[in-house]
Amino acid sequence: MAVIVRNMQVVHSDIVAAARKAGRDPAEIRLLAVSKSFGADAVIEAAQAGQHAFGENYLQEALDKMTAVRAAQPTICSTLEWHFIGPIQSNKTRPIAEHFDWVHSIEREKIAQRLSQQRPADLPPLNVCLQVNISGEASKSGVPAEQAPALAHAIAALPGLRLRGLMAIPEPAATFEQQSEPFRKVRLLFERLRAEGLALDCLSMGMSADMAAAIAEGATMVRIGTAIFGERNYDK
Ligand SMILES: *Cc1c(COP(=O)(O)O)cnc(C)c1O
């Protein structure tokens, strides 16, 4: 059996196991396949095995891949959902607003306003998550947790966007307990924002190395690259 298909089966059974261990319904957890650095063939193979949502970090790479998938498999292409998960430069917002279904990496109001204004009127609002910097390091992406509530309320008011939740990329950590701590902080922030009246339903957290800890802390979408597609050619 092809490697990607077999890897996807393993990831699905790991999600089920992690959910059951946490007393959660595995159906609450969506799998985002992070296809950065892999080509259209890999996306098509995963899609043919039932994968629906794909995550990309680099705009030009993603647009080229969408074009190639569409050319090779137009029917499959029309069913796919594309998620932008990388840093966003303000001069790149228009193609993101035009070609993606979701953006996980919003960290500034200015970027959110541009995406809202540039979202084509014939498409549904762009689903977005606020990226939170939970480790508090100046070098890391994401809005500091203290500033997240004000930014979340501002984004929720933008007509071209639909604020779905929070995304976080904690520092790599060795043990399950160390991995869990930042995810717990993100979940508490998520619960606070919901208590403040925001209709959030997405906690985008967990990657290949820390998926089980993220699920134990309430992740509703895990972003998995390496465990599905293998080691990347570049590392970003
Ligand atoms: C690359 C990437 C992933 C996937 O990471 P893996 O460790 O390969 O599973 C998830 N989220 C973001 C934001 C990424 O950039």
Residue 213 tokens, joined: 């800890």
The tens-digit pLDDT sequence of the chain (236 residues) is 699 999 999 999 999 999 999 999 999 999 999 999 999 999 999 999 999 999 999 999 999 999 999 999 999 999 999 999 999 999 999 999 999 999 999 999 999 999 999 999 999 999 999 999 987 776 678 999 999 999 999 999 999 999 999 999 999 999 999 999 999 999 999 999 999 999 999 999 999 999 999 999 999 999 999 999 999 976 54
Closest atom of ligand 1 to CA, residue 227: 9
Helix count (H) and strand count (E) of the chain?
10, 9
Cα 121 to ligand 1 centroid, rounded to whole Å: 31
Closest atom of ligand 1 to CA, residue 211: 9
pLDDT of residue 131: 98
Q: For 105-116, b where at least 16 C-beta lie within 10 A, e where not — what string?
A: bbbeeebbbbbb
Ordered domains of the chain (ranges, CATH): 3-229 (3.20.20.10)
Residue 178 tokens, joined: 């160390």
The answer to whether the CB of 224 is under 6 A from ligand 1 is yes
The answer to whether the CB of 208 is under 6 A from ligand 1 is yes
Residue 87 tokens, joined: 């840093």
Residue 156 CB contacts under 8 Å (≥ 6 apart), including other chains = 163, 198
Cα gap 56→191, rounded to integer Å:
27
pLDDT of residue 195: 98
7, 34, 106, 141, best to mutate for ligand 1 pocket (most atoms within 8 Å of CB): 34
The answer to whether the CB of 222 is under 6 A from ligand 1 is no
Residue 1 tokens, joined: 């059996």
The closest residue, in CA terms, to atom 6 on ligand 1 is: 225
Residue 192 CB contacts under 8 Å (≥ 6 apart), including other chains = 149
pLDDT of residue 139: 66
pLDDT of residue 189: 98
Closest atom of ligand 1 to CA, residue 224: 9
Q: What is the DSSP string of 52-115?
A: -EEEES-HHHHHHHHHHHHHH-HHHHTT-EEEE-S---GGGHHHHHHH-SEEEEE--HHHHHHH
Residue with tokens 């959660």: 24
